Amino acid sequence: MTSQPSSAPGPGGGRAGPAADVGRWFSTATRNPLDGPGPTRGGPRLPAWGPMEGAQYGHRSTDAEIDAALELLRGREVAVLTGAGMSTGSGLPDYRGRDAVPRSPMTYQEFMGHDLARRRYWARSTVGWEQFRGARPGPAHRRLAALSPDVFETTAVITQNVDGLHTEAGSDPVIDLHGRLDRVRCQQCEALSSRLALHRRMLAMNPELAARLPQLAADAAQAPDGDAEVDRTSSFRYPPCPLCGGILKPDVVFFGESARREVVSSAFAALEEATALLVLGSSLTVQSGLRFVRAAGRAGMPVVILNDGPTRADPVATVRVHGRLEDLLERWLSRAGARR
């Protein structure tokens, strides 16, 4: 699922600037020649992600097809699996849609093994954090929350997103399969802390960047490939864990890292309680999400997929619906007469 990046509602209900492109924070760390000698990259480089070659976007299924998918789910216990397409309406760009900017994702091994990679990550995310935390639930988040329990009973919303917007929109329970960006976890002692508190601390440690933060944030929001000036901040300072001195990392799953075992177990438990699986806004490119579709298939469970653009599970979907999520879910709400 994809759309043009939009302005996210601000805390007071008004419109804020475009939310930060979180994917750019995870771009692989490359050495800028101005930084002097050093590694050309911090670790193994993955192929660049971007729009799927040859994929068709913008197609919308007929009303009859959309309604048939609703009837298949109505009155059931449904596990919902969501991806980045859910949050494009909140101004958070996706990875694989037609408007996605190609990028090589940073790996867990790169972040943990190289100081340069950590400096680059924290510098970029410090610039984008204020924008990111201003993102608010979009129409797709709110309409999904409104469907349960009037239309179907949700055993859980299992989300691959790290923005916390499903919870804010009122979905319950929500399983954050890949963690959340508003938390930080020490990689040595496992202590959790607030990303906002760390943000304030890093601004204090980097007063020159802090003084130029509004300008850098505006530049980063306009640059499709990230802010080059931020990329040159090899002198950016970041703190260790205050409890044990270990490496602090956002409490999210990086590429090359496995989701936490207890979280995955909770997600499979929610799938086992369900009698149908609904996939929203995910290309299912990575195994982390695709495995739930495969498990549903093995259990003989119907799988309904709503997405703009192809998914890896299209051949096995019971019903495949194309279109913008907010429009498709609005159609379901109108047909079902669900309370808002």
Which domain CATH number covers 185? 3.40.50.1220
Reported as a single tens digit per residue, the pLDDT across 59-105 is 899 999 999 999 999 999 999 999 999 999 998 876 555 554 556 67
Is residue 5 in a domain?
A: no
Check: CB of residue 190 under 8 Å from CB of residue 200: no
Given a cut of 50, the residues of the chain with pLDDT beneath it are: 1-18, 30-46, 48-50, 100, 223-228
Domain presence at residue 301: yes
Known catalytic residue at 322:
no
Residue 245 belongs to a domain = yes
List beta partners, residue 30. 41
Asked if residue 133 lies in contact with residue 198, where contact means CB atoms within 8 angstroms, the answer is: no
Nearest-angstrom CA–CA distance, 258 and 255: 8
Residue among 114, 166, 178, 199 flagged as catalytic: 178
Containing structural domain, residue 177: 19-336
Going by the DSSP 8-state scheme, the letter that residue 232 receives in this structure is T
d(CA 319, CA 233): 48
Residues 275 and 77 sit within 8 Å (Cβ to Cβ):
yes
Phi, psi (rounded to 5 degrees) for 155:
-75, -30
**Looking at the domain assignment, is residue 13 inside a domain?**
no
> What are the pLDDT digits (tens) for 90-145?
988 765 555 545 566 788 999 999 998 999 899 988 988 877 888 999 999 999 99
As a whole number of angstroms, the distance between CA 196 and CA 180 comes to 12
CA 318 to chain centroid? 25
Q: Tally the domains of the chain.
A: 1
Phi-psi region of 309 (alpha: psi -120 to 50; beta: other; left: phi over 0): left
- As a whole number of angstroms, the longest Cα–Cα distance in the chain is 64
2 in a structural domain: no
